[in-house]
Amino acid sequence: MSLLSSDVRPTEITIVVVLISLLVLLPPLFTLWIDVDLPWYLPYLVWFGLILLSAWLQHVLRKNAV
């Protein structure tokens, strides 16, 4: 079965990717927030990248799911 078949919704795939990303990124982000030597905005840049990745994935999957 293809990943982009009609029975798989793009929103569900995006939610799964976001949840897996949260599981992977939360522990390192907590250490980034605690570390004093790093810039204050670094965790927000990581989250912004995750949001952009989710939006891009949503766009691509909706375009390919006829």
SS (H, E, C) 28-55: HHHHHHHCCCCCCCHHHHHHHHHHHHHH
18 within 8 A of 49, measured Cβ to Cβ: no
φ, ψ (nearest 5 deg) of residue 37: -75, -20
Domain residues for 14?
10-64
Amino acid 1: pLDDT: 45
Half-sphere exposure of 34 (CA within 13 A, CB side): 6
Q: Would you say residue 1 lies in a domain?
A: no
pTM of the model: 0.50
Is the pLDDT at 60 greater than 60? The verdict is yes
Q: Would you say residue 21 lies in a domain?
A: yes
For residue range 6-39, what is the model confidence (pLDDT) as tens digits? 556 767 777 888 788 878 877 776 776 676 677 8
Is the pLDDT at 57 greater than 70? The verdict is yes
Q: Would you say residue 58 lies in a domain?
A: yes
